[in-house]
Amino acid sequence: MTNSRFRLVMLVAAAVFAGAFTYACQSSSGPAAGAGDAASDVYVAPGDYDEFYAFMSGGFSGNVTVHGLPSGRLIKTIAVFSQYPENSWGYSEETKNMLNTSFGMIPWDDAHHPQLSQTDGIPDGRWLFINGNNTPRVARIDLSKFETEEILEIPNSAGNHASPFITPNSEYVIASTRFSVPIPQADVPISTFKENFSGTLSFIRADRPGEMDIAFQIHVPGFDYDIAHSGRQVSDGWAFFTTYNTEQEHTLLEVNASQADKDFVAAVNWRRAETCVAEEAGRLVPGQYVHNVMGEDRIGRSELRNSVRMIEPADCSDMIYFLPTPKSPHGVDVDPTGEYIVAGGKLATTIPVHSFSKMIDAIANERFETVINGIPVLEYEAVLAGEVQEPGLGPLHTEFDANGNAYTSMFISSEIVKWKLGTWEVLDRQEAYYSTGHLMIPGGDSSEPFGKYVVALNKITKDRYLPTGPELAHSAQLIDISGDNMRLLLDFPTMGEPHYAQGLPAELVTANQVQMFDLTENSNPHATLQESDARIERAGNTVHVYMTTIRSHFAPDNIEGVMVGDTVLFHVTNLEQDWDVPHGFAVIGARNSELLVMPGETRTLRWVPQRVGVFPFYCTDFCSALHQEMQGYVRVSPRGSNPTISFGTGD
């Protein structure tokens, strides 16, 4: 830099400094420094909280991740369908039943669509539901504890993708089979698809904690059923599902299922279906499925159920209609008023928007093109509200703000398109990096969008982060939607593949937080509520170790009397009664995981010692300055040596 240029820079800097100083001292309530630049808009100062919680599906990780917005910080992984050694979910004796299915214990799933519970169509912060796609399941997560409390398997389903979309008062979460299959399952040639394969739409009771169940299923033609959303406000009482492969092909679907100009949105009047169920329409069909619930004693228990009520459309008139929709539609999204039903025809050149009120009129006037399996197909023109012309390529999913605007992801052209409900004009475009799938606006699929941001959940990452070998973290992007034009603020990485997400103002969740479990209410039958009760009991080849933890020791911490091949059950009770003081427990050779025991809680680890010797166990969660001293030994004697049981701490 030359001297004169340096002087010029200093002069400018001094002027800026003076201006800035004056400005800063004049205004204590004005905009923050650098307002309007992306960095300060996403900056959450150390010690401050984010404004929103964002719940991201963990995709093929099987879990849910929780991020703060606008910072994008990852603040929690909630174990759901996948074993999670970090906190022994699915490994500890108390939690492993939660992953039971009619196929046995399945330690993994593919989680796609989180849905917050709603009251009057507005997210209420009580629960989060999410689907398991591969082994059809729906989970309910309690947001006072950020813990999975209930998992229900879905029978007569294969590929539980259009799930678990919630109704406005959380009456149901809805689900469908993505893949049509023989129902009931049967040994038939795959080539008999058109004769033998069909689908189901499921309505799962969701507003009674611990009592989730399949209220009824609707038997539908052998298409693929893709995504869903419930009606709201004027369309409350209805649910909408997209279909593709109405060609009913069974091989090379990427070619064969893309032939028809239009597939369908299935519109289901679930209040009408309830009436039919009350009149005992349909029949009980066999179908094994498992219901898992975490009890008041914090122990997961499973129950096998054997049948489900199935309604044929022909047996319940006025329950279900097909709305022709171009072309292989993916998402179906209902605007905050409930009037507009937006379908993302992923191969379509427009975004078709159906009108709920026109649909009701078309039904009343019997504007039917045809009838398929007892399901009337309405005329496209009779239900269409409008089409967004030339929105981009590959429209998938739409979210809404509170000002009558819609935001649609364009997978192929890799952008987000903002358009106006009613006029269908495109207002703005924002490039996305790269290939956006779902979008999420906090409350953006409810009656009352909270707005402010849209999060793009991108499928392709490429060059957005430092390279990490062949596999890259999926990229999410935060975009400001508070002004007329969208403004990209932030990239942040996510876990697994986040499909859909949900967001809401933090205070709806923080108000109900559980910080610990009351020791005096611990009803685990293997709890040890005071250190003087710590002990060891042998019952045949099983050895129960009743153990307590507090900063920073185990009781007992010296254990003798165990033999090779015994089943040792360490029942560890954390006697702490303060927030953020879990203790861990790990023992060498354990073929499952550690335990992570919350204050006041009891968790049990199964351990089968294989070798003679003296083996250490220790606390895994750094608990105090003497955490490294929180250890113990268990002596393992030869099989058949019948050693004397002895135990103690500090003796």
Partner 1 sequence: MQTKAYKHPVRFVILVFLAVSAAACGGGGDPPDAGASDVSAAPAAVAGNGLTAVELEQGIGPIRDLDLGDVDGSLAAAGGEIFAVKCSACHKLGERYVGPDLSTVTGQRTPEYIMNMILGPEEMVARHPEAKKLFAEFNYTPMANQQLTEEDARAVLEYLRQVGAENPGAQN
Place of tokens 């002027």: 15
Out of 253, 431, 473, 606, the residue judged to bind partner 1 by CB under 8 A: 431
We find the least distance from the C-beta atom of residue 24 to partner 1, in angstroms, to be 4
Place of tokens 């929709």: 325
Q: How far apart are CA 382 and CA 316, in angstroms?
A: 23
559: phi then psi, degrees, rounded to nearest 5? -130, 125
We find the least distance from the C-beta atom of residue 558 to partner 1, in angstroms, to be 16
Q: Is the peptide bond before 435 cis (omega within 30 degrees of 0)?
A: no
Q: How far apart are CA 177 and CA 153, in angstroms?
A: 12
We find the least distance from the C-beta atom of residue 550 to partner 1, in angstroms, to be 4
Cβ proximity to partner 1: between 385 and 581 the closer is 581
Cβ proximity to partner 1: between 220 and 630 the closer is 630
DSSP 448: S
**Proportion of the chain in helix, strand, coil states, percent, rounded to 5:** 15, 45, 45
DSSP 111: B
Residue 176: strand pairing partners: 201
- Token pair in block for residue 157: 């389903």
Measured in residues, the chain has a length of 651
We find the least distance from the C-beta atom of residue 627 to partner 1, in angstroms, to be 10
Among the residue ranges 324-332, 411-419, 544-552, 560-568, the one whose residues contact partner 1 (CB under 8 A): 544-552
Among the residue ranges 36-44, 123-131, 337-345, 443-451, the one whose residues contact partner 1 (CB under 8 A): 36-44
Q: Which of residues 558-597 bind partner 1 (CB under 8 A)?
A: 575-578, 581
Cβ proximity to partner 1: between 151 and 550 the closer is 550
Out of 34, 422, 643, 648, the residue judged to bind partner 1 by CB under 8 A: 34
At a CB cut-off of 8 Å and minimum separation 6, what does 486 contact?
407, 416, 418, 428, 429, 430, 454, 479, 480
Residue 24 found at the interface with partner 1 (CB under 8 A): yes
Residue 390, H or E segment: none
Among the residue ranges 38-46, 233-241, 441-449, 637-645, the one whose residues contact partner 1 (CB under 8 A): 38-46
Out of 178, 358, 438, 553, the residue judged to bind partner 1 by CB under 8 A: 553
Residue 1 found at the interface with partner 1 (CB under 8 A): no
We find the least distance from the C-beta atom of residue 488 to partner 1, in angstroms, to be 5
The gap from C-alpha 197 to its chain's centroid, in whole angstroms, comes to 29
Among the residue ranges 170-178, 403-411, 608-616, 624-632, the one whose residues contact partner 1 (CB under 8 A): 624-632
Among the residue ranges 23-31, 68-76, 260-268, 494-502, the one whose residues contact partner 1 (CB under 8 A): 23-31
Residue 416 found at the interface with partner 1 (CB under 8 A): no
Out of 145, 309, 429, 551, the residue judged to bind partner 1 by CB under 8 A: 551
We find the least distance from the C-beta atom of residue 629 to partner 1, in angstroms, to be 9
- Token pair in block for residue 142: 């309690």
At a CB cut-off of 8 Å and minimum separation 6, what does 593 contact?
83, 85, 86, 88, 91, 92, 605
**CB contact at 8 A, 352 and 345:** yes
Residue 138: strand pairing partners: 131, 152
Residue 625 found at the interface with partner 1 (CB under 8 A): yes
Cβ proximity to partner 1: between 33 and 188 the closer is 33
Q: At 196, is the secondary structure helix, strand, or coil?
A: helix
Residue 33 found at the interface with partner 1 (CB under 8 A): yes
Out of 39, 278, 466, 539, the residue judged to bind partner 1 by CB under 8 A: 39
Q: Which of residues 137-196 bind partner 1 (CB under 8 A)?
A: none
Residue 555 found at the interface with partner 1 (CB under 8 A): yes
# residues contacting partner 1 (CB under 8 A): 41
Cβ proximity to partner 1: between 231 and 556 the closer is 556
Residue 488 found at the interface with partner 1 (CB under 8 A): yes
Q: How far apart are CA 286 and CA 279, in angstroms?
A: 20
Out of 38, 260, 347, 372, the residue judged to bind partner 1 by CB under 8 A: 38
271: phi then psi, degrees, rounded to nearest 5? -70, -35
- Token pair in block for residue 173: 């979460």
260: phi then psi, degrees, rounded to nearest 5? -70, 145
Residue 482 found at the interface with partner 1 (CB under 8 A): no
**CB contact at 8 A, 340 and 351:** no
We find the least distance from the C-beta atom of residue 17 to partner 1, in angstroms, to be 4
Among the residue ranges 160-168, 225-233, 300-308, 516-524, the one whose residues contact partner 1 (CB under 8 A): 516-524
Residue 21 found at the interface with partner 1 (CB under 8 A): yes
Residue type, 645: I
Binding mask 337-356 for partner 1 (x = CB under 8 A): --------------------
Residue 16 found at the interface with partner 1 (CB under 8 A): yes
We find the least distance from the C-beta atom of residue 75 to partner 1, in angstroms, to be 24
Out of 11, 37, 103, 541, the residue judged to bind partner 1 by CB under 8 A: 37
Out of 80, 343, 519, 597, the residue judged to bind partner 1 by CB under 8 A: 519
DSSP 211: -
- CA 23-26-30 angle, 5° bins: 75
The gap from C-alpha 96 to its chain's centroid, in whole angstroms, comes to 19
Residue 9, H or E segment: helix 3-26
Residue 428 found at the interface with partner 1 (CB under 8 A): no
Q: How far apart are CA 517 and CA 601, in angstroms?
A: 6
**CB contact at 8 A, 152 and 204:** yes
We find the least distance from the C-beta atom of residue 33 to partner 1, in angstroms, to be 4
**CB contact at 8 A, 561 and 536:** yes
Cβ proximity to partner 1: between 17 and 103 the closer is 17
According to DSSP, the β-strands at 487-494 and 474-480 are antiparallel
Cβ proximity to partner 1: between 315 and 428 the closer is 428
Q: Residue 617 half-sphere exposure, CB side, CA atoms within 13 Å?
A: 30
Cβ proximity to partner 1: between 247 and 431 the closer is 431
Residue 2 found at the interface with partner 1 (CB under 8 A): no
Enumerate binding residues for partner 1 (CB under 8 A): 12-13, 16-17, 20-21, 23-25, 28, 33-34, 37-40, 431, 433, 488, 516, 519-520, 529-532, 548, 550-553, 555, 575-578, 581, 624-626, 650
